[in-house]
A and B are shown apart, each in its own frame.
Chain A
Amino acid sequence: MSIAHPLAGRGSTPSRAVLLAHAVAAHRTRAADVARIATPHIRYEAILPEIVMLGGAVLLLAVGALVERQLRVRVATFGTLAVSAGALGVSLWQWADVTSHGGFSAVDHAVVVDGFSALVNILVSCAMFLTALVADGYLRRERVEGAEFHVLAMVSASGAMIMGSANDLIVIFLGLEILSIALYVLAAFNHRRAASGEAALKYFIMGSFSSAVFVYGIALVYGATGTSNLAQIAGFLSTHVLTSDGLLLAGMTLLMVGFAFKVAAVPFHMWTPDVYQGSPSPVTGFMAAVAKVGAFAAFLRVFVSSFEQLRVDWQPIIYGIAVATLLLGAGLAVVQRDVKRMLAYSSINHAGFILLGLQAATARGVSASLYYLFAYTFMVIGSFAVVTVLGRRGDAAHDIASYRGLARRQPLLALMFAVLLLAQAGAPFTTGLWAKLQVILASVDHSVPLAVIAMLSAAIAVFFYLRVAVLMYTPVPLAGATPGVEVPAEEPVPLGKSVAPRALAAAELAVAGAGGTRARPLWTGDERNIVAIDRMNAGLLLDDDPMTLALEGAGEGAVPQGALGEGAQAVSPPSSDAERERMLVGESGPPRSLAFDTLAGGRGETLDVANVLATGPARVPPLSAVAIGLCVAVTVVLGFWPGPLTAFAHHATLLFQR
């Protein structure tokens, strides 16, 4: 009746209103006759973080439409910060509640509140908070107006929260879709960049495909067990022995594929580099953190709690996926020139590490995975925050060569990025070390080869993290001839090939004439060492790559071999070598198609490096600086003092509601 009344009040024909009223009444009685739909009792405190996040998003959408255009971004940013802080507070309260009273399931056992879900909620809230800080500067710089970015991000975050606390496959699917659909839009958010649209389209198509696979999996599992509730599946499997389990195993496989797609595990990772590279940088950070946290939360919960009985069946597959993810992620990151793409592969590598904890399928493994997710969230958001800042207007200056000499131009930013990269590499006194240690310890308990592979991949990974770090601390090559690149005259001559072979040769000739010794720092040792170091630097710092050669002046880059002294000859590899190196490091030809991997070659939409280096330091918005600072602080402080976080992850696992 409540629907009928306003309609009647509006002055539509009375007979219509009466008819409608009758119809409604008739429908009700019929429904009551057939079966009463039992609406579950809802304990709102169980889903409070999700409510805060989603409600905040809706509220912000409304408020955003009301305020003036110029204020929208600011209002949206602070609104989002307030909402995510609120969600964080509520999640912490849930954590406190759970630690004192234990977990429970609610809403007809569709969601569960336990330490695990509380940790996921806390993590997602933190990620949302940090992303709001980073996005503010980005949106202003790119002149993208409106509150929609933040609204979508919050919706997406609530999806991840739902995945973390879901206790039913259907609810997981709901969460997955809420998470993903918002992310598709976010990926396309910078409509001025073609790459952004392409990324979103790819993500959408592939995501839809994987969602379909996932739903199919749910259907098969339901068919096999008669329920979609996680606890009931576990109960069913522990009390029943299936005479024919093909349906169940197939369903489990499809679920696994769906999750593996979301967490970007090999071979379901192929969307990742393109999407991460094409999306606006703050979205990439958000996506890398939140989507992975949500998906891994559900992945862990479904496989470790529901399908525990089938461990022997799924463990080998996760084993294989983990190995492929670890090795391929690290191996492909090595050959990237675009920092965003490199970080995309690195996040694939990280996913491999988190899979180690799942593969272990023990309490220790789950807690290690949670620890890793926690550490990873802050490292990856911080890293992408730096990338956002350095992307400059247009979000395009992501070629690795434009990071060269960053420490001179922006020492603090370079230091922060170096710390974050080292943390991702697993350096001591950062959370990265403890995270890697935990998952490797968890996996070494029952599978030493897997742990060894993980360590190998960590060793490979060190290369591409360190390369960026070293590059940041290497001065820009002295190339006075290059127009637009101003090099301070008093800049000390850097060690290595960066002096340019000509200068080196000239110096050597001069020395040979004078009969003295070369002016070198004492610690570089004798000639042979110097040459070796020079050669190493040349390889590491991409001195032979086309970008730098272009910087030095294209024609002069190729120095006639005869003119060089012996030492210098060793420094600059033979030209065929250089050619091959160039091919290895990155393709440099013109774009072949709209396919994304041509972007990996450093052309396409990336800015010209010389321009980047010539335009002076990138502006660091204060809020982004706060975000980067927070990420580094968490990474370093908890790295020095890992006790609390270990205990946190451990408790979250203890409170895992089976």
Chain B
Amino acid sequence: MLHAVFLMPLFPLAGFVVLLAFGRRIGEPIAGWIGTSAVAAAFVSACITLVGLANQPSSARQLTCSDSCARGASGHAFFTWIPVGGLHVKVAILLDPLSMTMAMFVTGVSMLIHLYSIGYMKGDRDFTKFFVYLNAFVFSMLVLVLANNLLVTFVGWEGVGVCSYWLISFWFHRDSAASAGKKAFIYNRIGDAGFLLAMFLIFSKTGTLTYLTVFAHRHLLVGGGTMTAAVLLLFLAATGKSAQIPLFNWLPDAMEGPTPVSALIHAATMVTAGVYLMVRVNPLLALSPDAMWVIAAIGGATAFVAATIACAQQDIKKALAFSTVSQIGYMVLAVGTGAYVAAIFLMVCHAFYKGLLFLGAGSVIHGLEDEQDMKRMGGLRRTMPWTFVTFLTAWLALAAIPPFAGFWAKGDILANVYGKTLVLYALGLLTAFFTAYYMSRIYFLTFTGRERWAEPAPDGRPAHHRPHESPWIMRAPLVVLSFFAVFAGAVNLPWVHTGTLGQWLAPVLGNRLFNAHESPTELIWLAVADGIVAVGAAYAAWRIWRRTSERPALEPAFLQRVWYWDNVYDAVIGRPGQVVARVYAVMVDGRLIDGAVNGVARLVRSTGSGVRRIQTGFVRNYVLGIALGMAAILAFMLSRTK
């Protein structure tokens, strides 16, 4: 049953190839169904693999799979990629509870969002292309997750990056979409440089890139700050991919892509890849406390900053995007605290409810003729009952209202942070307040209050038609995700100790949890505090946003403009960079480099056309050439005789 793991990436790959080759001929909607079933097949393979893995004894759950699955870092591989010098990249699958968990929710959520997309993308000019990209994305994501070494992870990492780029600028005829794609790509490239440098560093010290072998030789990285450098470089990559400070600005812009993309790539799966990478290399993290502090601080700061920004956004997708940044900030905070299980727990729960939120938002946008401004929504609970109910569960889950999934996941993280440092705990709790507040604001603005869509907009655009509920193909994923948004918390309840996510992940992550030291009473008080904060914030939002949509005092420009973060980057990096680039383009590139290159080219050409005169076409000259060459060699040789 473990061998089903090979099929997992192959199905989306096959879907990608088939759609790429024949997609245009197949057309809508069959192409969508092919894409969806490829991912569904991957999900089934994942389920079969899961059963196989669960049947192994818990100590034997870390397997390297190539032609067969073997325990630990087996030397076998599908093939050795790039056998150059000391570098032998043995490509295989690393199957353990961590990659299994990721693979499960990646394929599961992807399947639902594929299904949803068939409805959402209906009638789009590039319907089939969309599914080509989506299948390519799922394949790359599975490569990222299942890789047994850093380099193959990086291949997947770049793969999801480029799919993300294609999908953000899917409607590339819009300038904003095109430049948003570029922005995402460039931010990610900065992070990727970190990934590459980290790989170079690790390879130079340990001579390998295979995870388990690196972990086995991790003592080679200790000393002289090497470990801290390696971990921080990897974390730089993670900040790019997972949209953390200082590289978080691309994610809100990425909402230019179609909404299913926002749900799948920019909420549920790809953006959590950075967190996954950090959890994957947790044995290295453990040896660098300094780096852990940096990670925790950045995670906490990102969570807080993004949560505040989310409070003032008008665009429903942008608000949700900042919420994603904030939630991933929580995960990074958990990683920095060493609470890896909690990070994965929140990642899984978040995948469900954030995916659901985006799909719900997509349903609303779809129903309102592509309207994304929340100030022009309101009262939708009557016209879109299915969307309303499912969105409601997701709201409660993300706002961490007990007993929904988010409450348990976030509570787990906060309890761990409490065990580590009070400062970050206070920041986390404050963020939790903002989280519940902005989420409730989104909910109230969208589904309750006056039906503002029926009125003309302040800027003169006409009123919308009466929104319609989405077709079943879009509602079905909402319902399924809604179920998980409510009940996903059950996989890791604090008072249960067997059969939990924590126990399942123990072979990879061990039992490094701070809250193990905390007494049950403490845990209960912490949970109560979480609950009170969440309910209080939701109540506050209810008081403020239930009836009105205009409260300028609560939406300061500072927050609307993302703490002027983009402006700072523009002033500090963008403009000086442009000046430097322009100078280089003219002076260095135009004169020096082009001059050198053209000079060389001219030299080669003129030499070539000079030398070609020797090539007269006359055999006598050719034979003379041979004779002269021979004579020269003979002369050299005979000069060496004894």
Contact = CB atoms under 8 A, between A and B. Distances in A.
Interface string A583-627: 110000000011111101000000000000000000000000000
B579 interface: no
Interface string B234-245: 000000000000
Interface stretch (A242-250, A298-306, A486-494, A628-636): A242-250
Given A267-B628, A597-B612, A331 B604 contact: yes
Interface of A is mostly: helix
Contacts of B622: 202, 206, 270-271
16 contacts: A206-B622, A242-B642, A244-B641, A245-B641, A245-B642, A249-B637, A257-B633, A274-B617, A313-B640, A331-B611, A529-B585, A532-B590, A584-B609, A597-B616, A600-B615, A641-B81
- 5 closest Cβ pairs, A-B complex: A595-B617, A267-B629, A335-B608, A270-B622, A596-B617
Contacts of A584: 605-606, 609
Contacts of A646: 83
B554 interface: no
Interface in B250-306: none
Nearest to B589: A532
Which among A261, A267, A584, A598 has the greatest number of chain B C-beta atoms within 10 A?
A: A267
A463 interface: yes
Given A249-B638, A316-B636, A210 B626 contact: yes
B615 A317 contact: no
A249 B641 contact: yes
Contact of B633 (A253, A331, A644): A253
A416 interface: no
Contacts of B75: none
Interface in A446-473: 460, 463
Given A209-B623, A249-B637, A331 B615 contact: no
Given A253-B633, A317-B637, A643-B79, A334 B626 contact: no
Contacts of B633: 253, 256-257, 317
Interface in A317-345: 317, 328, 330-332, 334-335
Interface string B577-620: 00000000110001000000000010011111101101111110
B145 interface: no
Q: Tell which of B611, B630, B638 has the most Cβ of chain A within 10 Å.
A: B630
Nearest to A650: B83
Contacts of A583: 609
A209 B626 contact: yes
Interface in A272-331: 273-274, 313, 316-317, 328, 330-331
Contacts of B611: 328, 331-332
Nearest to B606: A584
Contacts of B80: 643
Contact of B601 (A250, A463, A641): A463
Given A270-B622, A274-B615, 15 more contacts: A206-B622, A243-B642, A244-B641, A246-B641, A249-B641, A268-B626, A273-B615, A316-B636, A331-B608, A335-B612, A437-B84, A522-B178, A596-B617, A597-B616, A600-B612
Given A253-B634, A253-B637, A641-B79, A206 B619 contact: yes
Given A253-B633, A268-B629, A594 B84 contact: no
A71 interface: no
A206 B626 CA distance: 9
A529 B636 CA distance: 53
B552 interface: no
Nearest to B640: A313
Interface of A: 201-202, 205-206, 209-210, 213, 242-246, 249-250, 252-254, 256-257, 260-261, 267-268, 270-271, 273-274, 313, 316-317, 328, 330-332, 334-335, 437, 441, 460, 463, 522, 528-529, 532, 583-584, 593-598, 600, 641-644, 646
Interface residues of B, number: 43
B626 A332 contact: no
A636 to B, nearest CB: 15
A335 B609 contact: yes
Nearest to A271: B622
B76 to A, nearest CB: 13
A316 B633 CA distance: 10
B626 A202 contact: no
A268 B618 CA distance: 14
Contacts of A331: 604, 607-608, 611
Contacts of A313: 637, 640
Contacts of A528: 586
Interface string B66-90: 0000000000000111111100000
A441 B85 contact: yes
B225 interface: no
A213 to B, nearest CB: 7
Contacts of B621: 270
A246 B636 CA distance: 11
Contacts of B606: 584
Contact of A642 (B82, B85, B612, B626): B82
B384 to A, nearest CB: 38
